[in-house]
Amino acid sequence: MRLSRCPTLRPDLGGRTRYTGQVGRKSGTALVAEAARVLAAAGVASPRVDAELLAAHVLGVSRAQLVLMPDWDDAAKRRYRQLVAARAQRVPLQHLTGTAGFGHLELAVGPGVFVPRPETELLADWASRLVATLPGDPVVVDLASGSGALALEIAHRCPAARVVAVERSEAALVWLRRNAAARAAAGDRPVTVVAADATDPAALGDLVGQVAVVVCNPPYVPEGTPVPPEVADHDPPEAVFAGPDGLAVIRPVVACAATLLRPGGWFGMEHDDTHGEVVPALLRGRFTEVTDHPDLAGRPRYVTGRRVDTA
């Protein structure tokens, strides 16, 4: 019986880890365990989870179904080896599978668009619960929509709402329009996509003073902040960094949201975990009931406020 060669890790010219092993005749369980070791050595934060998700992707099954470990043919083994090698190079998992789970949805993502993060689901849940209590067909605007995660999750959970997604990046708009079309085809109320700057309320002139809820997950990381390779090399920098203090986009977005909202309308925005005091302070004056909310790790994560009633 021919023995499989053990996997090896070699540094590439950039100092990163490269997977050069062979999968040989190993069982599916052994392949995934081996891949998890490779990804751990490469510094991937969740090596076992990523190894299993890549396996599920290759085999066309859910992660839960991996316990059955269907047979792997040679083509599947080769494809798995390629994906593990790419993940060890810190290509984002979502770029390799082509999708990112967000709330109740699976969104298409890839180069040119920010990959939605689980912590943003907290803002989506806050907004969806709020919108569901509003009468009629309330207007919801998602500024700097990216892949459409917030807009599409709210539209999915609140079918009475009229949701507008605003995005200026041509690359991100490709993914946003693709996801919006897919959700409409699945039966959700279509989301209106507007190609515009999230800081320019004139782009939504007919909605000024008419919007019930504005949400935003803007770029907010201070320039120079160390970030993982998945972010540094693959997320669009303009969707991540926002000036020396991380507030270069947040400041005008607060003003834009205040202009769009009707009196008593609500605003929710994600921010950096260092912004737990400064961002709520930016809302006060234009907004009342300003509250900052933690993420699941207890870090400051998003702020909400209600437009001051000027009547």
Report the distance separating Cα 48 and Cα 51, nearest Å. 5
Q: What's the token pair of residue 39?
A: 């990804």
User: Percent of the chain having pLDDT more than 90?
Assistant: 84
Among residues 73, 90, 107, which one ends one of the domains? 90
pLDDT digits (tens, 9 = 90+) for 76-119: 999 999 999 999 999 999 999 999 999 999 999 999 999 999 99
Number of alpha carbons in the 13 Å side-chain half-sphere of residue 248: 13
Number of domains in the chain: 2
pTM: 0.87
CATH number for position 259: 3.40.50.150
Does some domain include residue 3? Answer: no
pLDDT of residue 309: 81
Q: CA torsion sign, 168 to 212 to 129 to 188?
A: negative
Beta pairing, strands 139-143 & 162-167: parallel
Q: What's the token pair of residue 239?
A: 């969707």
Q: What's the token pair of residue 167?
A: 């995005």
Q: Please state the φ and ψ torsions of residue 294, each to the nearest 5 degrees.
A: -85, 160
pLDDT of residue 310: 65
Compare 288 and 71 and report the one with higher pLDDT. Answer: 288
Report the distance separating Cα 54 and Cα 57, nearest Å. 5
Number of alpha carbons in the 13 Å side-chain half-sphere of residue 289: 11
Q: Which residues pair with 268 in a beta bridge?
A: 215, 304
Residues 66 and 195 in one domain: no
Residues 200 and 294 in one domain: yes
> Residue 265 pLDDT > 70, yes or no?
yes
